[in-house]
Structure 1
Amino acid sequence: MRVLVVVAPVTAHLFPNVPLAQAIQSAGHEVRVASNTSMTEWISGAGLTAVGIGDDAPGPPNVSAQDLDRFTEALGYEPGSQFARVWQATGFYTMGSCTRLHPDADGRAVLADNLVAFARSWQPDLVIWDQASPIGAVAAREAGAASARFLWGPDYFGWTHGRFAERMADGEVQTNLLAEILAPIFGRFGYDYTPELLLGDFTLDPIPMQLPRPAEHQTVPVRWVPYTGASAVPKWLAEPPSRPRVCLSMGVTARTFFAGRDERVAAVLDAVADMDVEVVATVNADQLGGEKVPDNVRLVDFLPLTQVIPTCSAVIHHGGYGTAFAAAAHRVPQLTVMEEWGSALCLTPYLESRGAGVTLHADGLTAQKVHQGLSRLLSEPSFQRGAAAVHADLTGAPSPTEIVPVLERLTAQYRTRD
């Protein structure tokens, strides 16, 4: 069969898809991975065939605070509540991923049009699409292919759709704002907003089942197999560390969209300066912002986390699912330094409930707090047991290779083209 994988132009969205795409390809099927032209090198580097659908303008999605406030109010969350704070992040991504696909002032929608044109021409049997690329659902319809969403974090669209459906049924709101935002994308190709179009025929879900999710649509669990890019192993990494090694990563996405000095990095560097540890910090000069680098810190602009984490005793990160699950795959305790928004609001309670790590909040962060948290991870055996528990959660799902026959069956079931 032919399988088209559609991802948003962010490595954090591409990487979780790679092991599944490789497994499908290794089973003898044809695979193409479509994204913005800027992503083709990353896709090709994973041994997959890239389809560039157009240029992009790097930067955060164009979503205003007023837009987010309007959504928060319509969804009925109390201002300042955890649900409201989570929504400020989910709304940012949900709305931003849609608006980047909208027609411009001249009526052009290059990314959407190019993707749909490719699908019509190549005629895939299955389209697997990143939940932040809802145009993938349209491409599947236009090709008569089965349509499968792929989650790389919380089910933003499913969560939002379900909330609006509940409030509309109760008469609390009259308009589904998610449908309103998706109308320019779906309507461009003659489709109305429907749950089936929004959520696909089924959802591929690599998130451990212990984390919350909507449960109203068909899902296929699949193991999250960490892939964090490819590069040659540096010589220094081949030598075992002489003291506990700690990895520091604040995410590639954050440095791409929110460039500049990262105060969290500064606090960590201050904290580890007098500790008997070796720190490998995957940060760049912008994130350092002139901060003095201690002698026990090795700076690397980029290093696949799957290379360094297996040699580590602890990982310090921002609360991204990719980094967290890369650590979990190797049973490494985690210190999360999180902003009060984003996926971390869902992830960190889970890690803490399993005893796998310590959470610190970026607001009010100090070197002393980092020092104390990291010292606990390195000295208290309970965190190693907690990390093993998260590893068991992660590996409880079938591997990408194991679900290929499931995808073959579901493709035959849902494909509308003979």
Structure 2
Amino acid sequence: MRILIAVAPLPAHLYPGVPLAWALQSAGHEVRVASNDSLVEHITAAGLTAVGIGERTSPPVPATDEELERFSDALAFEAGSDFDRLFRATRFYLMAAYTRYHPDAEGRQELADGLVEAARNWRPDLVIWDPACPVGAVAAREAGAASARLLWGPDYFGWIRKRLVERAADPASGVTAATDPLAAALAPVFGRFGHEFSEELLLGDFTVDPLPSQLPRPEGLRRVPMRWVPYTGAVPVPPWLSQPPARPRVCLSLGVTGRTVHDGRDERVAAVLEAVAGMDVEVVATVNADQLGPDPVVPDNVRIVDFLPLTQVMPTCAAIVHHGGFGTFFAAAAHRVPQLIIGEDLGSALNSTRYLEARGAGVTLHAEGLTAAEVGKQLERLLTEPSFRDGAAAVHADLTAAPSPGELVPVLERLTAQYRGRG
């Protein structure tokens, strides 16, 4: 088979699919990964064949406050509910995922055109696409390929669609096919190639889901469970990491995407560094100069490393402090490491924190009003209370219960044969 994997230009969206791409290649299939030119280096560094589809020559027009409020009004989640908080925290990023592929004022859309052209020319049998790269569904349709979404976190897109369908069934809601904000947001992406909004284009033929079954997900979609096998990049192992730590090792990471979201000093970094100054631990902080800010106070027991793959450092750690992203969460879970999440109201953290606490695998704090004293107190608990190790083992068991990427290959072969050629 030929498999084209299409991802939005973020390493955090590429990495969850890398082990699956390896498994497909190892089974003898041809695999190519398509994204913006800016991601090509990350793709080839993972040992995969990259297809660069260009870059936008004009910035996408962000959604207006009015458009975002219309979206919120259409969903009408109960104020203060988990779904209301989740969507209000993520709606800007969801809309940005779509507008990235909208045509500009002159009708140009290099990214969408580049991806669809690559699919038409290469004729893959299966297109696996990132939900934040909705033009991947169009590429599959245009190539006559089977179409599969690959999740990198909670199925925001599925939840929203389910809710809008429920609302449209209520005449009093005011939500109709003509007022559906999701259809309106995707109309410029689908319509550019002569396709109308549909459930099939939005959600694909099936969804490859790497989240443990204990996490909530919308019902009614064809899902293919897959074990999340962490891949977090690759660099040579530094000599110091080859030596066992003399004291409990704690990792501090705010994820690869966080470096682009935050501009300048991150107060969470400062609070953690202050908290660990008097503790009998060794800290590896994978943060950059911007996150540290000017004139940072770095204790003697802290090693600052601009970048280090979590898959290298996690096996040596007794705990991790992080932002709540699922890539980081599962890199720790794969090695049964207790976690302290310092979250903000941004998408994944709202889900990972609930799951972490329910399994007893760690504790969570909110970034707002964060103090070094509270960080130190909770980190001490992680290192001394055995229950957190038990909870981390439970999350590890959840994680490894699903089929590995290698075990998924024959499943994808069967589904591809079932769905390709229907577009």
Q: Distance in 1 between matches of 2:185 and 2:131?
A: 15
1:202 aligns with one of 191, 199, 206: 206
1:18-97 paired onto structure 2 within 5 Å: 18-56=18-56, 62-97=62-97
Identical-residue share of aligned pairs (%): 68
Change in Cα spacing, 1:48 to 1:317, as seen in structure 2 (3 Å) is same
Map of 1:118 onto structure 2: 118
* 1:347 positional shift: 1.2
* 1:56 positional shift: 4.9
1:323-402 paired onto structure 2 within 5 Å: 323-402=328-407
Q: Distance in 1 between matches of 2:49 and 2:345?
A: 38
The alignment's TM-score, normalised by the length of structure 2, stands at 0.96
Where does structure 1 differ by over 6 angstroms across 4 or more consecutive aligned residues? 57-61
* 1:59 positional shift: 9.5
Contact 1:85–1:341 (CA under 8 A) maintained in structure 2? no
Contact 1:148–1:203 (CA under 8 A) maintained in structure 2? yes
Contact 1:5–1:129 (CA under 8 A) maintained in structure 2? yes
2:409 aligns with one of 393, 404, 412: 404
* 1:66 positional shift: 3.6
* 1:173 positional shift: 2.6
Q: Distance in 2 between matches of 1:58 and 1:281?
A: 36
Change in Cα spacing, 1:3 to 1:231, as seen in structure 2 (3 Å) is same
Partner-residue secondary structure (3-state), 2:68: helix
Paired residues, what number?
418
Map of 1:9 onto structure 2: 9
Q: Distance in 2 between matches of 1:285 and 1:188?
A: 42
Map of 2:190 onto structure 1: 186
Spell out, residue by residue over 1:339-382, the C-alpha distance to the aligned partner (whole angstroms, 9 max, x if none): 02321111111110000000001111100110011000000000
Q: Distance in 2 between matches of 1:406 and 1:97?
A: 29
1:250 aligns with one of 225, 247, 254: 254
1:262-341 paired onto structure 2 within 5 Å: 262-290=266-294, 291-341=296-346
Tell me whether 1:218 sits opposite 2:219 in the alignment. no
Q: Distance in 1 between matches of 2:259 and 2:57?
A: 15
Contact 1:271–1:370 (CA under 8 A) maintained in structure 2? yes
Q: Distance in 1 between matches of 2:362 and 2:59?
A: 31
Q: Distance in 2 between matches of 1:71 and 1:372?
A: 41
Change in Cα spacing, 1:407 to 1:158, as seen in structure 2 (3 Å) is same
Spell out, residue by residue over 1:251-296, the C-alpha distance to the aligned partner (whole angstroms, 9 max, x if none): 1101123221101111101100000000000101111112211111
Q: Distance in 2 between matches of 1:181 and 1:192?
A: 12
Partner-residue secondary structure (3-state), 1:252: coil
Change in Cα spacing, 1:297 to 1:42, as seen in structure 2 (3 Å) is same
1:135-214 paired onto structure 2 within 5 Å: 135-171=135-171, 172-174=173-175, 175-214=179-218
Partner-residue secondary structure (3-state), 1:184: helix
Unaligned runs of 5+ in 2: none
Q: Distance in 2 between matches of 1:59 and 1:308?
A: 37
Q: Distance in 1 between matches of 2:363 and 2:373?
A: 14
Partner-residue secondary structure (3-state), 2:48: coil
Spell out, residue by residue over 1:172-204, the C-alpha distance to the aligned partner (whole angstroms, 9 max, x if none): 133210000000011111111111111000000
Q: Distance in 1 between matches of 2:413 and 2:14?
A: 22
Q: Distance in 1 between matches of 2:157 and 2:422?
A: 27
Contact 1:61–1:97 (CA under 8 A) maintained in structure 2? no
Partner-residue secondary structure (3-state), 2:32: strand
Change in Cα spacing, 1:359 to 1:65, as seen in structure 2 (3 Å) is farther
Tell me whether 1:230 sits opposite 2:200 in the alignment. no
Q: Distance in 1 between matches of 2:308 and 2:174?
A: 48
Q: Distance in 2 between matches of 1:147 and 1:264?
A: 40
Map of 1:99 onto structure 2: 99
* 1:83 positional shift: 2.2
* 1:231 positional shift: 0.5
Q: Distance in 2 between matches of 1:58 and 1:247?
A: 39
* 1:88 positional shift: 1.8
Q: Distance in 1 between matches of 2:392 and 2:67?
A: 39
Q: Distance in 1 between matches of 2:330 and 2:251?
A: 14
Contact 2:60–2:99 (CA under 8 A) maintained in structure 1? no
Partner-residue secondary structure (3-state), 1:298: strand
Q: Distance in 2 between matches of 1:283 and 1:56?
A: 29
Of 86-95 and 182-191, the range deviating more from structure 2 = 86-95
Of 49-58 and 387-396, the range deviating more from structure 2 = 49-58
Q: Distance in 1 between matches of 2:88 and 2:183?
A: 18
Change in Cα spacing, 1:2 to 1:227, as seen in structure 2 (3 Å) is same
